[in-house]
Structure 1
Amino acid sequence: MATLFVLNVEEFTPIVEAAAKNPEIEVSGPNVLGYYRLDSEKIQLNRKELGFKHALWNGILTGGFIGQMRVFDTDRLEIENI
């Protein structure tokens, strides 16, 4: 299972909202430490679809992740199960 931890701040709300709309991603949280947890066999996010500017996009992994990063470029993030 690939996991992405997302800090519970207003700026990252679009990540959680997009994941909640995807039936392949399980969203839980926020936990007591202030993070959402996104779990799936493969997590794929698109910067433009989230409406993120580059600076915010570059901070998308600040909460950490579990899995193998397949793609992290200026527009896409893909994390897969190890």
Structure 2
Amino acid sequence: MKKIAIAAVAVLGLTVAACQDNAADNAVSTENTIETEAAADTNSAIAGTENLGVAADNALDAAGNSLSNAGNSIENAAEDVANGQDNVAGQ
């Protein structure tokens, strides 16, 4: 009977130890989780902003290229007109 009583006391002791109030640990864990999630959200927002900047740069480059191409086309057209006049004059 002594062995059963000792075993019962050991089990009850472990049960009481497992039921200790760990609210402070839970609060720290919750705070760490909130900070981690906030940091992840901030990093995502920064990355999104950086991507918008890259997209804007690419759009400006494309617009600049289009204007350059238009200028080249006008220059080529003017040269074609001049060549046509030279050909007519040479006949």
Normalised by the length of structure 2, the TM-score is 0.15
Identify the structure with the greater strand proportion.
1
Structure possessing the higher radius of gyration over alpha carbons: 2
